[in-house]
Amino acid sequence: MSLIKPSPTIAITDAANKLKGEGKKICVLAAGEPDFDTPDHIKNAAVQAINEGKTKYTAVDGTRELKEAIIKKLERDNELKYEPNQICVGSGAKQVLFNLFMATINPGDEVIIPAPYWVSYIDMSKITKKTKWLVINSPNNPTGAVYTHNELRDISKVLLEHSHVNIVTDDIYEHIIYDEKFFTIAQVEPKLYDRVFIVNGVSKAYAMTGWRIGYVAGKNDIVKAISTLQSQSTSNPNSIAQAAATEALNGDHGFLKERTETFKNRRDFMVEKLSSAPGLSVSVPQGAFYLFVSCEGILGKKTKNGKVINNDLDFTEYLLEDYLVAVVPGVAFGMENFIRISYAASHEQLEIGCNSIIKACQECL
Ligand code: PLP
């Protein structure tokens, strides 16, 4: 445990809650979840599951109905075919990722996680004999960057030369995408099919973060190992949440378009507003619901209280304490001197937050 550092995200949330406890109105733009509610037809499926007595243990790796819904989804959205024994459902994408790494990584193995900054071809040259996994996350948290078809094809070319490297693709923001079309790497390069493990879930697209359902699809041997690990730790994910997730994947998707449009409008609003903040540099994200903003131009400046802002941690502290806006420091994502601003919040909150951030930038000298 001594090797695990407390998360800077939690530090910000704790500080924001402390200030809220003191009666201060904090504008929280730190959330990693949609501010929308879970759609009614999904909630109703859960109520129905309770009334029908679907309240018992299920198969460890997920109900037959949910696995079938996942298989249909992967064929419908991603043009990929899977069998039920290639799917394992867990309590959120996070648990699935944890189990996947736990089940496969041995001392000395290497995992490549590109720094959260557009396409990192440089990281590809980091492949060694010990490399076990390359992790891909597009649309990306925290940058909102999206890999295009061409970029995924280029990455595939490198991976085809290194057959010992498997790929985890975290597709959790698949449906929250604006001007680009979503592709997952196994769809772009079918020769990688056996080496790609797709991780996805219902948290972001269906506003179901609290329900805790995620899944992995890939070659049976590793998926089976993940399921074995799960069988000796948490057992099956919640039976009622599985029924709700089945409805989410099989049911009406009309609301997705509408919600994505709302996120896009918010993105455009945020980008335009924050572009006028002196010292900040904003790029336009193509997906997810975050802006990853460089605060390099702020470094070295002094706050009204005479405190020097030396890095992103100082800047987020300044924003929170002096301007009552909570955002996440880039260092939490392995990238210093950036801040992550979530726009999964109401227009009113976004306006308050942007105005405060702009003021904070203007008032440090
Ligand atoms: N992957 C990414 C990139 C995320 O941003 C998150 C949540 O913030 C997750 C996975 C976790 O998703 P889940 O709620 O399914 O555990």
The CA 147 to ligand 1 mean position distance, Å, reads 18
- Contact, 327 vs 306, CB < 8 A? no
DSSP bridge partners of 215: 89, 200
- Quick one: which atom of ligand 1 is closest to the CA of 209? 14
pLDDT at position 310 is 97
- Quick one: which atom of ligand 1 is closest to the CA of 288? 5
pTM: 0.95
Instruction: Put residue 212 in one of left, alpha, beta given phi > 0 → left and psi -120 to 50 → alpha.
Output: left
Residue among 198, 208, 209 at smallest CA distance from 174: 198
The CA 31 to ligand 1 mean position distance, Å, reads 12
* φ and ψ of 19, to 5 deg: -65, -35
pLDDT at position 175 is 97
pLDDT at position 12 is 81
For 342, counting Cβ atoms within 10 Å of its Cβ (0-12 exposed, 13-18 middle, 19+ buried), the class is: buried
Per DSSP, the three-state class of 315 is helix
Q: What ranges make up the beta strands (E) of 18-155? A: 27-28, 87-90, 110-112, 131-137
DSSP bridge partners of 196: 167
Q: What ranges make up the beta strands (E) of 213-346? A: 214-217, 290-294, 325-326, 328-329, 338-342
The CA 70 to ligand 1 mean position distance, Å, reads 17
Please report where in the chains the tokens 């867990």 appear, as a residue: 90
Which residue lies with its CA nearest to atom 8 of ligand 1?
32
* Pocket perturbation via mutation, ligand 1, pick of 141, 146, 169, 199 by most ligand atoms within 8 A of CB: 141
Residue among 4, 208, 230, 193 at smallest CA distance from 100: 230
Pocket residues: Cβ below 6 A from ligand 1 = 32, 92-94, 137, 141, 170, 172, 201, 203, 209, 214
CA distance 353 to 29: 7
**Helices 312-323 and 8-21: crossing angle, nearest 10°?**
10
CA distance 152 to 175: 18
Report how far apart, in Å, the C-alpha atoms of 151 and of each of 26, 120, 184, 228 are.
40, 10, 11, 35
Per DSSP, the three-state class of 176 is coil
Joined tokens for residue 125: 């040259």
- The DSSP result for 167-212, as a single string, is EEEE-TTTT-BSSSPP--HHHH-GGGGGGEEEEEESTTTTT-TTT-
Residue among 222, 200, 201 at smallest CA distance from 133: 222
* Pocket perturbation via mutation, ligand 1, pick of 33, 88, 172 by most ligand atoms within 8 A of CB: 172
Please report where in the chains the tokens 């939490």 appear, as a residue: 332
The CA 290 to ligand 1 mean position distance, Å, reads 13
Does ipTM come in above 0.90? yes
pLDDT at position 119 is 46
- pLDDT tens, residue order, the chain (365 aa): 888 777 777 778 888 989 999 999 999 999 889 999 999 999 999 999 999 999 999 999 999 999 999 999 999 999 999 999 999 999 999 999 999 999 999 999 999 988 764 444 556 688 999 999 999 999 999 999 999 999 999 999 999 999 999 999 999 999 999 999 999 999 999 999 999 999 999 999 999 999 999 999 999 999 999 999 999 999 999 999 999 999 999 999 999 999 999 999 999 999 999 999 999 999 999 999 999 999 999 999 999 999 999 999 999 999 999 999 999 999 888 889 999 999 999 999 999 999 999 999 999 99
Residues in the chain: 365
